[in-house]
């Protein structure tokens, strides 16, 4: 059943302290809890609980019998509870069979197991009965007890005591106390056998913090990148937001079975191994960079999420949007800020724009949900971050910092709302409150415009208008405040003659620039100043001009993407020939490759088939789009074919080095290699083989392997076998081995089926499932077929019961079925209806319900 934002009510009881005693046994765990509760509003005392076996419950010393409380639909309700309550509750749970990876669960198998928690958003209710909602904050003390086979016993906060269990020499215990008042979704504990990498960080306030990164002993050598990133993030937050860490210990634990990337539990982060482990030999540069970003993201949550948390789950973007904005800013300081912006915008356009254009569109702050797990979306995270960015840019660094200081000053220790956030940020400028509509209104605004130059008056008038589609179930869209960063370029000199931030906050508006000597080329939405789609009446020549003269690397990339979109989506309105694009690339590439290899690599980007599809709203033909895309790629490769050999030689392989330059060289070399293979450049197959054989790191080795697989070079399968044999012991690398095959250009459903039946395939490891299924969904010509959809929907059916969070996320990829040309559209519809008959989880059913509403 649906929960609505407008129905929010304060909890009737506060929890002052909670004492947990978690005893892990061979086949189950027993959880004893003591809650000290105080009434703060009229109403029943409500606890949530799921998949719990209730053994005993007492209130203020008296055992409660059935009849003293009501139990239904995941709730335990005590009516007429007194104002001061001590509840003692005993439950039994079964982490050993918990495949949903929520609550307390076992990861691994056989002799190699560990136990961890995932409580956000509503997993704590699978550990014990509790008022499991983010606006109930309490002080937690946790005792863990287990067999000594599991020497590592961790929970939030400070270690108070540890020792042997009396009369049970094979068992031991540890007691942890967390001094922070926190919601239950930030609770965590770990029972495992892990090694630890330790370090120390001294905060600006002089506090010594012990840093501990826990992993299996075989992985401990892959923890240095994460540890360094943690120290960098701690310092960055002090310098940029004045926020220092508050406890004496910061722990990170790596686990191989995890539904998401990582989790910011107070003082005890739990990470998917894929998001924390990194070494040059086993991890690509792109992955390694995202490890640093995710470490920073979870660390930044300590202030934006943990110390100031969300009043209810509708406010999820309050912590996620702000924290993503913070991790993006951190990453921009670690590499070229242009490349960082390119990567963030590419993700936004590929995934968030698509979500916003389809049946799963929802506001950054949703107004209702059945299952909150379905709303950990790119809209909440990435569009949420874009709103904070617009606010930060509108205020400028000094006033934005005043606003965030005020936010931390006012709300530290509280559970708050998006309105609270905006009100703190508005202290220097109350116009900021108007950004609230960005949180309420779904859909991507389309900004259209044109320019009129008046020679006599020497004025340029830019007319801009905005339009947002009306998403059913929501009010008619209204104009939003859209900052449009603008620069005018003189056509002769190529110089900037004026620069201004235009604020478009009405349906249509004109902006006049005085003293403009000749009709300029206008560069709009610089640095992607707002998450909108831009339709300006450019000539291809204007875009080519900007590719040459724009001073900001992001803007240069943006015009290449506009050119590519015009070429590939022609017939859908705009007509463009590739000549101007190809010529502009040919002129730009040589100098740029020498100057900034990473940016040069990005300029060769052609949006994926999936991303192109997201811009098509009707009669989408996957074969046609793939053919057009392949043909443009071929044209780029052919047009520049004389450059590839020279470029490849100028980008020599060198001993591994983590500098931005070295990473740029590797990124560009991999693309040049693929281009050379595409253009059939003489010797390119040998380059690939040599790059693989002599690789100094995974970026080089995997780049070569991927190119060989995609181009089906003669002995690609031998290289695949070599790769498998070399890295057999490393799950994360074997994930790459699965994904390179499942996402190959020529993949067939037979290959996918074979991968699913491979002995190393594992349904209980989300990373492995995604390495085949998410990889495969990147090939729309295979996905949108009878066999493709049969495989895809059977995977969802299979996971529906075992891991509904994962199943529902995979399902969301099918949301845009309604844009397909017939007969695929009807076929996809029928498969989804069939899936609906078999699905049982509320996660999958809610997603299906929305997805099918598009019919």
Task: List residues binding ligand ARG (CB under 6 A).
Answer: 118, 120, 259-260, 262-264, 297-298, 320, 373, 376, 805
For Zn ion, the binding residues in 294-333 under the rule CB under 5 A are: 320, 323
Other beta carbons within 10 angstroms of residue 412's beta carbon come to 10
Q: What's the min distance (Å) between Cβ of 651 and Zn ion?
A: 36
Structure-token pair, residue 124: 């704590």
Q: Which does 263 bind (CB under 5 to 8 A by kind): Zn ion, ligand ARG, none?
A: ligand ARG
Structure-token pair, residue 137: 């904050």
When the beta carbons of 294 and 734 are compared against Zn ion, the nearer one is: 294
- DSSP element (H, E) containing 53: strand 53-59
Structure-token pair, residue 203: 């905060």
The footprint of Zn ion on this chain (CB under 5 A) covers a number of residues equal to: 2
Structure-token pair, residue 678: 């595409």
Q: What's the min distance (Å) between Cβ of 765 and Zn ion?
A: 22
When the beta carbons of 298 and 596 are compared against ligand ARG, the nearer one is: 298
Q: What's the min distance (Å) between Cβ of 317 and ligand ARG?
A: 11
When the beta carbons of 379 and 441 are compared against ligand ARG, the nearer one is: 379
Question: From CA 11, how far away is CA 85, in angstroms rounded?
Answer: 14
Q: Which does 637 bind (CB under 5 to 8 A by kind): Zn ion, ligand ARG, none?
A: none
Q: What's the min distance (Å) between Cβ of 57 and ligand ARG?
A: 28
Q: Is the CB of residue 100 less than 8 Å from the CB of residue 77?
A: no
Structure-token pair, residue 686: 């040998």
Question: From CA 805, how far away is CA 372, in angstroms rounded?
Answer: 10
Q: What's the min distance (Å) between Cβ of 212 and Zn ion?
A: 21
- Lookup result for tokens 């003269």: 549
Q: Which does 596 bind (CB under 5 to 8 A by kind): ligand ARG, Zn ion, none?
A: none
Distance set, CA 123 to CA 30, 154, 753, 842 (Å): 16, 18, 33, 15
When the beta carbons of 320 and 550 are compared against ligand ARG, the nearer one is: 320
> How many helical (H) and strand (E) elements, i.e. helices and strands, does the chain have?
28, 31
Catalytic residues: 298
Question: From CA 237, how far away is CA 239, in angstroms rounded?
Answer: 6
- Burial call 171-201: b when 16+ CB within 10 Å, e when fewer: bbbbbbbbebbbbbbbbbbbbbebebbebeb
Q: Is the CB of residue 379 less than 8 Å from the CB of residue 466?
A: no
Q: Which does 777 bind (CB under 5 to 8 A by kind): Zn ion, ligand ARG, none?
A: none
Q: What's the min distance (Å) between Cβ of 271 and ligand ARG?
A: 10
- DSSP secondary structure code for residue 308 in this structure: B
When the beta carbons of 118 and 793 are compared against ligand ARG, the nearer one is: 118
When the beta carbons of 320 and 399 are compared against ligand ARG, the nearer one is: 320
Q: Is the CB of residue 804 less than 8 Å from the CB of residue 766?
A: no
- Lookup result for tokens 């859209």: 482
Question: From CA 36, how far away is CA 45, in angstroms rounded?
Answer: 12
Q: What's the min distance (Å) between Cβ of 263 and Zn ion?
A: 8
When the beta carbons of 105 and 538 are compared against ligand ARG, the nearer one is: 105
Residue 72 has phi, psi (to 5 degrees) of -160, 150
Question: From CA 79, how far away is CA 13, in angstroms rounded?
Answer: 12
Residue 153 has phi, psi (to 5 degrees) of -120, 110
Q: Strands 45-48, 103-109: parallel, antiparallel or unpaired by DSSP?
A: unpaired
Of the candidates 604, 605, 608, the one whose C-alpha atom is nearest the C-alpha of residue 644 is 604
Q: What's the min distance (Å) between Cβ of 325 and ligand ARG?
A: 13
When the beta carbons of 185 and 201 are compared against Zn ion, the nearer one is: 185
Q: Which does 376 bind (CB under 5 to 8 A by kind): ligand ARG, Zn ion, none?
A: ligand ARG
Question: From CA 789, how far away is CA 784, in angstroms rounded?
Answer: 6
When the beta carbons of 320 and 343 are compared against Zn ion, the nearer one is: 320
Q: Is the CB of residue 152 less than 8 Å from the CB of residue 194?
A: yes
When the beta carbons of 364 and 615 are compared against ligand ARG, the nearer one is: 364
Q: What's the min distance (Å) between Cβ of 320 and ligand ARG?
A: 6
Q: What is the Cα 39 distance to its own chain's centre?
A: 38
Q: What's the min distance (Å) between Cβ of 217 and ligand ARG?
A: 26
Cα dihedral 603/607/608/614 (nearest 10): 160
Of the candidates 504, 499, 541, the one whose C-alpha atom is nearest the C-alpha of residue 516 is 499
Q: Which does 850 bind (CB under 5 to 8 A by kind): Zn ion, ligand ARG, none?
A: none
Binding region for Zn ion (CB under 5 A): 320, 323
């Amino acid at each position: 059943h649906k929960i609505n934002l407008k129905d929010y009510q304060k909890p009737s009881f506060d929890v002052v302290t909670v004492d947990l005693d978690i005893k892990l046994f061979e086949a189950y765990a027993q959880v004893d809890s003591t809650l000290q509760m105080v009434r703060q509003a009229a109403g029943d005392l409500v606890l949530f609980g799921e998949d719990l076996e209730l053994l005993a419950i007492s209130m203020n010393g008296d055992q409660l019998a059935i009849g003293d409380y009501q139990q239904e639909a995941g709730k335990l309700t005590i009516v007429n509870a007194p104002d001061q309550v001590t509840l003692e509750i005993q439950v039994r749970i079964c982490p050993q069979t918990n495949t949903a990876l929520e609550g307390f669960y076992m990861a691994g198998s056989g002799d190699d197991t560990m136990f961890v928690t995932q409580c956000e958003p509503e997993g704590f209710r699978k550990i014990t009965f509790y008022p499991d909602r983010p606006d109930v904050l309490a002080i937690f003390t946790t005792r863990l007890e287990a067999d000594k086979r599991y020497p590592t016993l961790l929970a939030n906060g400070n270690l108070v005591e540890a020792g042997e269990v009396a009369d049970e020499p094979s068992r031991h215990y540890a007691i942890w106390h967390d001094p922070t008042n926190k919601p239950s979704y930030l609770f965590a504990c770990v029972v495992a056998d892990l090694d630890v990498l330790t370090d120390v960080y001294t905060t600006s306030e002089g506090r010594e913090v012990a840093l501990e990164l826990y992993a299996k002993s075989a992985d401990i050598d892959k923890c240095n990148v994460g540890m360094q990133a943690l120290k960098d993030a701690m310092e960055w937050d002090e310098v940029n937001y004045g926020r220092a860490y508050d406890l004496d210990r910061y722990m990170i634990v790596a686990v191989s079975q995890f539904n998401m990337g990582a989790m910011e539990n107070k003082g005890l982060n739990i990470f998917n191994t894929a998001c924390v482990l990194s070494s040059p030999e086993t991890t690509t540069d792109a992955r390694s960079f995202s490890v640093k970003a995710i470490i920073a993201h979870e660390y930044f949550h300590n202030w934006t999420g943990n110390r100031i948390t969300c009043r209810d789950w509708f406010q999820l973007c309050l912590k996620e949007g702000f924290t993503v904005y913070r991790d993006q800013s951190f990453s921009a300081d670690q590499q070229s800020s242009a490349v960082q912006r390119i990567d963030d915008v590419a993700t936004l356009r590929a995934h968030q724009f698509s979500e916003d254009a389809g049946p799963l569109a929802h506001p950054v702050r949703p107004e209702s949900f059945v299952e909150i797990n379905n709303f950990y979306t790119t809209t909440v995270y990435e569009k949420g971050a874009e709103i904070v960015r617009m606010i930060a840019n509108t205020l400028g660094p000094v006033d934005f910092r005043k606003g965030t200081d005020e936010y931390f000053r006012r709300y530290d220790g509280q559970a708050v709302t998006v309105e609270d956030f905006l009100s703190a940020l508005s202290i220097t400028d109350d116009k900021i409150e108007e950004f609230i509509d960005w949180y309420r209104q779904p859909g991507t605004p389309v900004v259209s415009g044109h320019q009129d130059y008046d020679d006599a008056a020497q004025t340029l008038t830019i007319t801009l208008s905005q339009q947002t589609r009306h998403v059913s179930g929501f009010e008619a869209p209204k104009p939003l405040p859209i900052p449009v960063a603008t620069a005018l370029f003189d056509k002769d000199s190529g110089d900037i003659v004026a620069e201004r931030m235009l604020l478009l906050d009405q349906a249509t508006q004109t902006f006049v620039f005085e003293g403009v000597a000749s009709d300029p080329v206008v560069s709009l939405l610089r640095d992607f100043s707002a998450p909108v789609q831009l339709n300006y009446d450019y000539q291809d020549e204007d875009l080519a001009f900007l590719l040459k003269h724009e001073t900001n690397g992001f803007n240069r990339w943006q015009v290449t993407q506009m050119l590519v979109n015009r070429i590939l989506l022609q017939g859908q309105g705009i007509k463009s020939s590739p000549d101007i694009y190809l010529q502009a690339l040919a002129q730009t590439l040589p100098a740029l490759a020498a100057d900034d290899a990473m940016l040069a690599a990005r300029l060769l980007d052609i949006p994926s088939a999936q991303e192109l599809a997201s811009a098509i709203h009707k009669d989408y033909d996957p074969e046609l789009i793939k053919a057009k895309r392949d043909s443009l790629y071929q044209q780029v490769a052919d047009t520049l074919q004389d450059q590839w050999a020279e470029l490849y030689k100028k980008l020599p392989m060198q001993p591994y080095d983590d500098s931005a330059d070295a990473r740029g060289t590797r990124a560009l070399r991999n693309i040049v290699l693929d281009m050379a293979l595409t253009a059939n450049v003489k010797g390119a197959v040998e380059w690939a083989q040599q790059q693989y054989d002599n690789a100094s790191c995974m970026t080089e080795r995997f780049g070569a392997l991927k190119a060989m697989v995609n181009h089906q070079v003669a002995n690609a399968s031998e290289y695949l076998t070599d790769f498998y044999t070399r890295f057999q012991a490393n799950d994360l690398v074997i994930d790459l081995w699965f994904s390179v095959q499942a996402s190959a250009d020529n993949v067939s459903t037979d290959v996918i089926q074979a991968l699913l039946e491979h002995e190393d395939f594992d349904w209980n490891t989300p990373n492995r499932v995604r390495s085949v299924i998410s990889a495969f969904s990147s090939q729309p010509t295979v996905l949108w077929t009878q066999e493709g959809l049969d495989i895809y929907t059977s995977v969802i059916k299979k996971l529906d019961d075992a891991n509904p969070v994962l199943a529902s996320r995979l399902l969301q990829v099918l949301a845009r079925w309604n844009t397909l040309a017939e007969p695929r559209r009807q076929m996809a519809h029928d498969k989804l209806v069939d899936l609906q008959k078999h699905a049982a989880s509320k996660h999958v059913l809610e997603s299906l319900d929305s997805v099918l509403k598009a019919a």
